Amino acid sequence: MPLNACELEIDLFCRGLRLDGDLSLEGARSIARTRAGLGSGLELVLPTGSWLKQRIWVNAPVEEPFAAASPYVLHGAPAGGHWIEDTRDGHRYAVDVPPEPAWYARTTSRGIPMHRVGVLQGSYLGIYVNMVCTFWNYQPALNCRFCTTGENVGEHEAADKAVEDVVETCRAAKAESGITFVHLNAGFQGSRGVQFAEPYIRAIKEQVGLLVGAQLAPEKDFSRYDRLIDLGVDHLSFCVEFFDPEWFARICPGKQRVLGQQIFLDSIEYCARRMPRGAVSGEIIAGLEPIASTLGGIDWIAARGAFPTVCVFRPTVGADLEAWAPPRYEEMRAVMAHVYDACRRHWIPIGAAPNIEVSIVVNPDDAALLAPRGPAFYAYEGYRRLARAVAAPIFARRMRPRRRREPGDDGEIPQASTAPEPGGRSSTA
Ligand code: SF4
C-alpha cells in the first residue's frame, strides 16, 4: 500500500534516502550542514495530491550511515523529472528537486558568501545569528548531544554575521526566492542572547520586511520578550527538546546545568499569553525519550495556545549521538498524528502564515494527511481556512518594511526596493 506524502516524509526522516548512482544533482540545492545540523540532507518537495495541502517539503537524510540501508532510492530521468522508488515493493513516488537559488553564489557587500549567512530550509530562510553557542566552550563541552552547531558555525557557515550581511541575504532571498519568513536562532549566549539578536530583528523588520521568528535560549528577565514583541517579532520558539526530565538532563547537559527545564516551559507560557494564538512554538525531538513523554509534551504545548514543532531525531554526522539509531516509522507516525490532533483539540491555527514550509520537521499541518476524517476534522479544517483568510491582510501588513514609529509618521517605508522581481521567484519556493 503506497504511503501518502506525509507518511513518506516521516519514513524518509526515519530511514533516509539513497541516491541512484547515475543521478546528477547538478543545480539542486546543495547539502547545507549549518546551524544545529538538521539540514544535512537533500531538500525535496513531495506533491500530495490532496486538497488539504498541495506539497510537503522534506530534508531527507542522505549522508548519515543509516541512509545507506534505506529502501528509498532517488532517481532522475535525463529529460527531467525525479522519483523515489521504494525497493521493497517497487512503488514510485514523484518528487521535485528544488533548484539552488542564484543568490547562494553571491556575496554580501562585506564579501561574505550569502550561502554562509543563511540557507533555505524548505520555503523559509534559516540564519544562525550570534556567536557559537557557548555550551561548546565549556571543558568538557556541555553541548546538546544531538547538535553539531559547534562544528558548523565558522566552518560551514560564517561565524561573524554582521547586521548588513543578514539584511542583504534576507533581501536577496525575499526578492528571488519569494520567502516570507526568516528564522533566527542563536544557541546559548548567557543572559545576552536576546539582546544580541535585537539589532538583526530590528533591521530585517525595518529594511527588508519579512515575518521574523527567533529561537533563543530562555532568559530569566521575561521583559526582554516584551521588547522583542515591540520590535515586531512574529514568532518565538523555545527548544525544550524533551519533556522527560531525565532525558532532558542526559541529552542537554548545558541546558540542565545552566538553565533547567522549567524556564523553557515558563518562557513558552509567558510568550504564548502575550502573542497571538499559534505565534509561539515549543520544539521537541521525538525518538529518544519515551513516546508517552513526547505525547504529553505535545499536549502541554498545545494547551498553552502554542504549537508543537516536532523534529524526528536525526543521528547527524559529527554529533555525539551520531552512532545512535534513528527512530521507528510507526512511532513517529503516531507522534505526528498526535501533533495534529492536539492542535485540533486546542484550535491552534496551524498553517495560517503565508508560505512557511519547514523541511527539517514535519509541519503540524502536514500531519492533516494522517488524521481520521469526521465532523471534528472538517470543523477544524474549516476553522483553519477561515483563520488563513482573516490573517492574510495582517501578515501582508507585517511583511512591509516598517521602521519603528516616530511621532507624526505612520512608520511605513515604501516597498519598491524590496518587492519580488517579476518571474524571479523560484519555481518551488
Ligand atoms: S543550546 Fe544545544 S541545540 Fe542549541 S546550539 Fe547550543 S548545543 Fe546546540
Using the atom order of ligand 1, give the atom closest to the CA of residue 134: 6
In the reported structure, the alpha carbon of residue 53 is separated from the centroid of ligand 1 by a whole-number distance in angstroms of 32
In the reported structure, the alpha carbon of residue 188 is separated from the centroid of ligand 1 by a whole-number distance in angstroms of 7
Residues 6+ apart with CB under 8 A from 323: 315
Type and span of the H or E element at 283: strand 280-286
Task: Kindly report the number of other CB atoms within 10 A of residue 202's CB atom.
Answer: 18
Pocket test for ligand 1, best of 33, 40, 133 (most atoms within 8 A of CB): 133
Mean pLDDT by 10 residues, the chain (429 residues): 96 97 87 66 95 94 96 90 96 96 96 94 92 89 91 70 96 97 92 91 97 95 95 97 98 97 98 97 98 98 97 94 97 98 98 95 97 98 97 96 62 43 30
**Closest to 258 in 3D by CA, of 392, 95, 100, 136:** 136
In the reported structure, the alpha carbon of residue 195 is separated from the centroid of ligand 1 by a whole-number distance in angstroms of 18
Using the atom order of ligand 1, give the atom closest to the CA of residue 255: 1
* Sheet of strand 72-76: strand arrangement: 18-19, 72-76, 82-86, 91-95
Using the atom order of ligand 1, give the atom closest to the CA of residue 133: 6
- Give the residues surrounding ligand 1 with Cβ less than 6 Å away: 36, 133, 135, 143-144, 147, 149, 187-188, 217
pLDDT at 417: 37
In the reported structure, the alpha carbon of residue 133 is separated from the centroid of ligand 1 by a whole-number distance in angstroms of 6
Report whether 336 contacts 56 (CB < 8 A). Answer: no
In the reported structure, the alpha carbon of residue 136 is separated from the centroid of ligand 1 by a whole-number distance in angstroms of 8
Q: Please give the DSSP secondary-structure letter assigned to residue 247.
A: H
Using the atom order of ligand 1, give the atom closest to the CA of residue 147: 8
pLDDT at 151: 77
Residue 83 pairs with which residues in a beta bridge?
75, 94
pLDDT at 35: 59
Cα dihedral across residues 404, 175, 173, 123: positive or negative: positive
In the reported structure, the alpha carbon of residue 36 is separated from the centroid of ligand 1 by a whole-number distance in angstroms of 7
d(CA 274, CA 221) in angstroms, rounded, equals 15
pLDDT at 40: 79
Using CA positions, which residue lies closest to atom 1 of ligand 1? 187
Using the atom order of ligand 1, give the atom closest to the CA of residue 186: 5
Using CA positions, which residue lies closest to atom 7 of ligand 1? 143
